[in-house]
Amino acid sequence: MDTTVFKDIINKKTEMINDILERFLPEEEGYFEIISRPVNYSVRAGGKRLRPLLLLESYLLCGGSEEKTDYIAPFLAGIEYIHTYSLVHDDLPAMDNDMLRRGKPTTHAKFGEDFGILAGDGLLNLAYETMLDAAGKDNTGCAVRAAAVIAKKAGIYGMVGGQSLDVHLTGKAIQPDELDFIFKLKTGALIEAVFAAGAILAGADEETVKVCERMGSHVGMAFQIKDDLLDITGTEEEIGKPVNSDEKNNKTTYVTLFGQEKAEADVYAHTKKALELLEKTGDNKFLCSLIKYMAERKS
Ligand code: GRG
């Protein structure tokens, strides 16, 4: 797909997702304002909105209707709320103690550690309130299944499990199999979830759901390896946070374990595998360009 056309489409889709995110955010009214402000700040701080974009495109790839965006809107919002909560908690003093994200003060830097914790808790619950409300209105069973997949991949057997090993090994040398576990779960699980959930919501058969999940797994690996590369090749302006933070924090990364050359080659290899699976599943030229863009991104 031509770069100008791609940029135009991604901007429009991101704008649509930002509108959807607003739809389910809490009102800043009365005493609720105390929690709604840090919650809304965290979501409105920006971000690429990749997970809702990927969920939407997986849904369209598997035959979901472009007209039924209202049907998947609660899932597009839910997945971004979960992602946002994970970043807010990851930035806390007890974890990475980061003061800057997306070029702005992190939630705890602006509202205090207590409200960093509470905003994350609020966002995680808001995600399930939003998705389960939609599931209650859907009699196909697809929405409940999609929410269940997201719940599992965001939890102990997914993102939380990966983050736990990462935290446990902080300051220690990490072995390749441990790094693989961390990547697959901390970053990969949520991306697998969006590919699988998109397919489920489109009513795809079991085999297609599995292929989409595998596609997500390759996209997730490429994405995380690229994230490690950006920490050494990007600028603070581009990535919206300090560079070389992994080295400063003595963190083992894909680059420190395997070198820059292999890291770059593996981003390419995982992206290629994802694109092969995409081609087998159906026709979605925008998703194809989005996966390539994620591998070549500068932020
Ligand atoms: C606290 C349970 C818990 C989990 C935290 C996601 C995560 C797990 C930690 C964030 C740290 C990190 C570098 C994770 C790798 C995944 C990643 C690159 C996240 C950033 O995602 P982007 O680039 O962020 O999509 P934006 O800002 O664009 O939304």
Residue tagged 């609720």 (tokens): 32
Atom of ligand 1 nearest to the CA of 50: 25
The Cα 119–Cα 92 span in angstroms is 11
Ligand 1 centroid to Cα of residue 242, in Å, is 15
Amino acid at 263: A
Q: Are 264 and 229 in contact (CB under 8 A)?
A: yes
What pLDDT is attached to residue 1?
82
What pLDDT is attached to residue 244?
66
The Cα 40–Cα 94 span in angstroms is 22
pLDDT along the chain (299 residues), means of 10: 92 97 97 98 96 97 89 96 98 94 95 98 98 89 96 98 95 92 96 98 97 97 94 73 67 90 96 97 95 91
Closest C-alpha among 226, 289, 287, 278 to residue 3: 289
Residue tagged 């995600």 (tokens): 127
Atom of ligand 1 nearest to the CA of 299: 23
Atom of ligand 1 nearest to the CA of 102: 27
What pLDDT is attached to residue 283?
93
Dihedral over Cα of 169, 171, 174, 179: its sign: positive
Residues with CB under 6 A from ligand 1: 47-48, 50, 86-87, 89-90, 102, 159-160, 163, 186-187, 224, 227
Q: Are 174 and 183 in contact (CB under 8 A)?
A: no
Instruction: Report DSSP state, residue 92.
Output: S
Ligand 1 centroid to Cα of residue 87, in Å, is 5
Closest C-alpha among 57, 59, 21, 54 to residue 40: 21
Q: Is 101 helix (H, G, I), strand (E, B) or coil?
A: strand
Residue ranges in 67-175 assigned as alpha helix (H): 69-90, 107-111, 113-136, 142-154, 159-168
**Domain spans, the chain:** 3-296
Ligand 1 centroid to Cα of residue 178, in Å, is 18
Ligand 1 atom 16 nearest Cα: 187
The Cα 50–Cα 236 span in angstroms is 20
What pLDDT is attached to residue 36?
98
Closest C-alpha among 66, 24, 55 to residue 143: 55
The Cα 255–Cα 299 span in angstroms is 17
Locate 15 and state its tokens.
Answer: 């704008």
Amino acid at 25: L
Question: In sequence order, what DSSP letters do the residues of 156-212 get, joined into one string?
Answer: TTTHHHHHHHHHHTTTS---HHHHHHHIIIIIIHHHHHHHHHHHHHTT--HHHHHHH
Amino acid at 129: E
Closest C-alpha among 96, 54, 82, 37 to residue 241: 96
Atom of ligand 1 nearest to the CA of 85: 1
What pLDDT is attached to residue 93?
96
The strand pairing partners of 101, in sequence order, are 104
Amino acid at 14: T
CATH number listed for the domain at residues 3-296: 1.10.600.10
Closest C-alpha among 27, 42, 29, 191 to residue 124: 42
Separate counts of helices (H) and strands (E) for the chain: 16, 2
User: Can you point out the beta strands (E) in the chain?
Assistant: 100-101, 104-105
